[in-house]
Amino acid sequence: MGEGIWQDWQRPDKGALFVLTGPSGVGKTTLIRSLLKAVPHLHFSVSCTTRLARPGERDGIHYYFVSQKRYDEMVRSNELLEWAQVYGNNYGTPRKPVQLATARGDSVLLDIDVQGSRQVRSRWPGAVFIFLLPPSVDVLERRLRARSTDTADVIERRLAESRQQMEACGEFDYLVVNDRLDIADSQLQAILASELLRRERRVKWVDDIKAAVVG
């Protein structure tokens, strides 16, 4: 199972929560798609949002597209691990799937903004925070326009707010530049592998080795 560094990979005792943040258009969705293919026992946290689906986006796969009423209800009843208004729409991470996955040793990847990452930092000790940067602001603008799934107004708004998101990159544990896709992908995989090999996630290995050495 798995290729490269993931060959014969063993699931850790404790799963990790990975938070990926970066400005709109930097390439988070694209990189997450390849990470989910490569990394064993990794799940994407499907957020709920009040924004409309883009062409090709599917309910329950990319997002849970919910009404404002349902969203407010989720916030009120504490169903969300974090929530925020981003680029004029509401978003939030359902808490339950994250708890269930990490409890069985699987890991979860969140694609959330800076405000959400701050909430996770205070609510989930041990979460790993990664910020994805564009090679330059010009390149970011080109990518956002090239995606062509948003209107001109929406693109302008996202560009303005993206600068604010980038100012917060100093709060994160890891910084990855998405210039060449394959390099950013390898660097993200290296971060995930290192974090999942931490001794505190491998208590069973320590016990097994001690038992084997004692004989």
Q: Give the residues lining the site for ligand ADP (CB under 6 A).
A: 22, 24-30, 143, 146-147, 178, 180-181
Looking at residue 90, the DSSP 8-state letter turns out to be E
Contacts of 174 (CB under 8 A, 6+ apart): 128, 129, 130, 131, 191
* Out of 17, 86, 128, 196, the residue judged to bind ligand 5GP by CB under 6 A: 86
CA 99 – CA 97 distance, rounded (Å): 5
C-alpha 141/C-alpha 128 separation (Å) is 27
Closest residue to ligand 5GP, judged by C-beta, is: 116
178 binds ligand 5GP (CB under 6 A): no
With CB under 5 to 8 Å by kind, the binding choice for 93 among ligand ADP, ligand 5GP, none is ligand 5GP
**Of residues 106, 111, 185, 195, which one binds ligand 5GP by CB under 6 A?**
111
Distance between CA atoms of residues 103 and 118, nearest Å: 22
124, 99 Cβ separation under 8 angstroms: no
Q: How many residues bind ligand 5GP (CB under 6 A)?
A: 15
Q: How far is the CB of 27 from ligand ADP (least distance, A)?
A: 3
